[in-house]
Amino acid sequence: MSSRTTSEFTLDPPEAERLANLSGPFDGHLRMIELRLGVEIANRGNVFRVVGPQAAVGKAERLLRDLWTDAANETLDEPAIHLRLAEADADGVVERDIEPQEVAIRTKRGTIRGRGANQAKYLHAIAVHDINFGIGPAGTGKTYLAVASAVEALNEGRVQRLILVRPAVEAGEKLGFLPGDLTQKVDPYLRPLYDALYEMLGVEKVVKLLEKNVIEIAPLAYMRGRTLNDAFVILDEAQNTTIEQMKMFLTRIGYGSTAVVTGDMTQIDLPRHQKSGLKDALEVLHHVNGISFTFFEARDVVRHPLVARIVDAYDSRDEKNAQSGATP
């Protein structure tokens, strides 16, 4: 890890309106830069102090100076800051071993923080990356924290819609014909997402937002041909996507959008001959800047203590079978 350094500099000329434009509402623009570059930014008027790894501090100072110039002639908003960060190759400068800053999510039920290092890393990754993968066993908070991040983004006006996506693959059971319209047919597969939304927003508000299409239920098969701008998109149970479906989903992401892909590689319900799109994406995209991967383990399970032990027992059995060539 690089040693920490401090840079102090003044942005001239001192203009209050220009400073407010640069900082954003409640210093939101500065917080975006902090999270994305892994630095701490403090200012008294137009005198700024940036602390962090040397490479990140240098990039943050250059970015703030450029934004100060832009702030004189244009109104800065979150998409503009996001674009400047991308142009500055923010993801390329952040080192993997930089300790993630704590992200606290405010919801109707209170403040949600990551329990343990992996959850903290996951929340930080969602805050600073456009596309995020959360992979691991049930009970590790992958979906719950993604929904919490989505609800906060909607409440703060950073996105206009929440889109919940899930492949309609049955988990080892043949459910047969499901009555009702499209949403009703897919609802059973999206119940974990609904449960999290009800907890954070309340049932009445969720129902109203569904009626207004602010929250949208989108079966994966119906995503083709769409471009999703200013949306927070969650693809749950992604281990059951095909390679073609995963590629199609990831290429739907537009400006101002965040995507979170969650899945458990031990719960694949596809035909045996078919490779999981999630597994393929991990192999193809692991070196792509701007995409984050968080891997959860049994020790990250936050449900009943027995759940972690059950996960460990099944993992141990599967490992022994893999070594011996036996099938469960």
Helix (H) or strand (E) holding 291: strand 291-295
Which among 91, 111, 106, 246 is positioned nearest to 166, based on CA atoms? 246
Domains in the chain, ordered, with CATH? Answer: 4-93 (3.30.1370.10), 105-296 (3.40.50.300)
* Residue appearing with tokens 């083709």: 224
Cβ 34 vs Cβ 41: under 8 Å: yes
Token readout for 153 is 């983004």
The model's pLDDT over 98-149, given as tens digits with 9 standing for 90+, comes to 455 567 777 666 677 777 788 888 998 898 888 999 999 888 889 889 999 9
- 313, burial (CB in 10 Å: exposed 0-12, middle 13-18, buried 19+): exposed
Which among 29, 232, 205 is positioned nearest to 149, based on CA atoms? 232
What's the average pLDDT block by block, 10 residues per block, for the chain (328 residues)? Answer: 81 92 90 84 93 88 93 88 74 51 68 80 88 90 90 88 80 46 61 83 91 88 81 93 93 88 89 91 88 85 71 83 70
DSSP state of 257: -
DSSP string, 148-210: HHHHHHHHTTS-SEEEEEE----SS-------SSHHHHHGGGGHHHHHHHHHHH-HHHHHHHH
DSSP state of 273: T
Instruction: Count Cα neighbours of 286 within 13 Å in the Cβ-side half-sphere.
Output: 8
pLDDT at 23: 93
